[in-house]
Amino acid sequence: MSSVVELERSGAEPASALARCTGDAATFLERSWGRRALVHPSADVRGFEDLLSFDDVDRLLSTTSMRTPSFRLVKAGETIPGSAYTRSGTTGGKPVSGIADPARVFERFRDGATIVLQGLHRFHEPVARFVRDLELELGHPCQVNAYVTPPGAQGLELHSDGHDVFVLQAFGRKSWEVHSAPAEVEREPIRAEVSSGDTIYMPTGTPHAASTQDAVSGHLTVGVHVTPWREVVRAAWKRVLADPSFDEPVPAGWTADPEGVARELAARVARAGEELVRVDAEEVISDRWTEFLSSRSPLLRGALLDQLELERIGDQTVLERRPGSVLVIRTLDDRLLVLLGDRRLEMPPWLEPAMLRIAAEPRFRPADLGASIPDEASRLVLVRRLVREGLLRPAG
């Protein structure tokens, strides 16, 4: 079995997603990940405005007909009823509710309401690309909400989250109070004012609060849903429980002989333990790895236009990997498994040399695959399929 993992990054990215959040990713993972809270002042004057600017917020709310629950308004810790800032309409002759009413949204913002953009990674491309990179570095699913607060608005009360959190200050500034993480030695709270580009990392369960600020603030909250070992062990245990013998009923009248039933239970648990030891751990992890690398959010900007170019692709057409694309190749017994981040493809094993060549070359022509696929028509079938799937696109 072989595997290849390739992530094509945009040349505009100065550092990995995790490095942008932490400065030194390796040091962060060694010293802070899951252990202690960390405030990281930014040395990058650009900050995170490439992910979300105040103008982006204006555009999303005023021109895209956003609907709840993709956004909501809160004030003084309380959610404002959607009826106060949304309207109804029709689409395709059918009623639609919860549509953003920009004038009323902006009026509530001016009166001190915080705008919350929920699941921003699902509909805002810069954040979607950033989250894809971060997920692949960490190996854990992530989600992003944005909080845009006007000057003078009341901050969040002390609370904690049920997942790890990165706070990325996109624009403006905000004051935070961060208490000890569950795994930290008890300490005085960190009190820090973060500005554009600064970040805060908080492990699961870290109490924190945001204070009232005197300037507009926009920050991204990246929730990292860390997979616990309990979940992985449960997957192994489910394989043991698939044994049909566990479907046998507990004896009728067992209440008259609880000691005897307990002995039977002990024997079955011992047998299950023996089976658990024999579970193929690599197979369990392989299944989880395959699921993770085929269930991320898609990044297919431009793929619709590429559909119009399919028939024009010839043997000399220069093709390139789509920015942000993922290509994972696994050779199994009777098939080639290709993972593209948001989906999986199955191919005949003889295509492995060609797919490895595609993984190794940022740009290539179908003719370059001639050594492994001598037939031109077959080469074009393969590359056109990969264009349809969003992995490749015509260069330029």
Reported as a single tens digit per residue, the pLDDT across 57-110 is 999 999 999 999 999 999 988 999 999 999 999 999 999 999 999 999 999 999
Length, in residues, of the chain: 396
d(CA 219, CA 114): 11
d(CA 366, CA 384): 10
Q: Is residue 203 reached through a cis peptide bond, with omega within 30 degrees of 0 on the bond before it?
A: no
What is the reported pLDDT for 14?
A: 57
Whether 2 maps to a domain, the answer reads no
Residue carrying structure tokens 């650009």: 46
Reported as a single tens digit per residue, the pLDDT across 114-156 is 999 999 999 999 999 999 999 999 999 999 999 999 998 877 8
Whether 235 maps to a domain, the answer reads yes
Average pLDDT over residues 374-378: 97
Q: 313 near 380, Cβ under 8 Å?
A: yes
Whether 294 maps to a domain, the answer reads no
CA distances to 142, 262, 335 from 257, in Å? 51, 9, 53
- Statement: the pTM of the whole predicted model exceeds 0.85: yes
| Residue 4 in this model has a pLDDT that exceeds 70 | no
List the alpha helices (DSSP H) in the chain. Answer: 17-22, 25-31, 54-63, 102-110, 125-138, 229-241, 258-278, 281-292, 303-307, 352-360, 376-388
259-265 long-range Cβ contacts below 8 angstroms, 24+ apart: none
Whether 3 maps to a domain, the answer reads no
Same domain, 85 and 183: yes
What is the reported pLDDT for 11?
A: 39
| Residue 394 in this model has a pLDDT that exceeds 50 | yes
Rg of the chain over all Cα atoms, to the nearest angstrom: 26
CATH number of the domain that 202 lies in?
A: 2.60.120.650
Residue 146, classified by CB atoms within 10 Å of its CB into exposed (0-12), middle (13-18) or buried (19+), is buried
Same domain, 160 and 269: no
Q: In terms of residue numbers, what domain contains 249? A: 229-285
**Among 18, 106, 20, which residue's Cα sits nearest to residue 57?**
106
Same domain, 201 and 114: yes
What is the reported pLDDT for 106?
A: 97
Reported as a single tens digit per residue, the pLDDT across 269-302 is 999 999 999 999 999 999 999 999 999 999 999 9
| Residue 351 in this model has a pLDDT that exceeds 50 | yes
Same domain, 271 and 308: no
Same domain, 151 and 205: yes
| Residue 5 in this model has a pLDDT that exceeds 70 | no
pLDDT band at 386 (very low <50, low <70, confident <90, very high): very high
Residue carrying structure tokens 């000691």: 259
Same domain, 144 and 20: yes
Residue where a domain stops, chosen among 184, 209, 224: 224
- The region of weakest confidence among 153-162, 167-176, 195-204 is 153-162
What is the reported pLDDT for 45?
A: 67
Whether 119 maps to a domain, the answer reads yes
- The packing angle between helices 281-292 and 229-241, to 10°, is 120
| Residue 43 in this model has a pLDDT that exceeds 80 | no
d(CA 164, CA 221): 10
- Map residue 233 onto helix, strand or coil: helix
Q: 282 near 289, Cβ under 8 Å?
A: no
How many domains, the chain?
3
Same domain, 154 and 273: no
Whether 364 maps to a domain, the answer reads yes
d(CA 238, CA 204): 27
Reported as a single tens digit per residue, the pLDDT across 319-342 is 999 988 999 999 888 899 999 999
The per-residue pLDDT of the chain, averaged, comes to: 93
Whether 187 maps to a domain, the answer reads yes
